[in-house]
Amino acid sequence: MAKDFGKTAQGVLNGVGGKENVRSVVHCATRLRFTLVDSARANDDAVKGTAGVVSVVKAGGLYQVVIGNDVHEVFEELGKLGVLVDAGAWGGGPPWRSNPSEIC
């Protein structure tokens, strides 16, 4: 069965409180890293229950959704849904990383 990255992206987006609750999102090798307007609006159980999501981690002021190797595809689908994505984050490393070559 083919993976539905659009469905995963929509489920994650709903779980984090919708597009209006996302300031931005970047990704690393396995995780989507959200900066949220209000982290209290995120529903961990809803995000974790989304097909394609492995886990949720809250660290460094970020709401991190562990996807695994398909993270880039889900990231691109979030962009199609109108979420502010930082497309250059993977190539140059997220701005909050001191070592851009470091991965998740």
Q: Which of 6, 28, 37, 57 is catalytic?
A: 28
- 28 as an active site residue: the answer is yes
DSSP string across 13-81: HHHTT-GGGEEEEEE-SSEEEEEES-GGG--HHHHHTSTT--EEEEETTEEEEE--TTHHHHHHHHHHT
Backbone phi and psi for residue 43, each to the nearest 5 degrees, phi listed first? -110, 100
The residues annotated with a catalytic role in the active site are 28
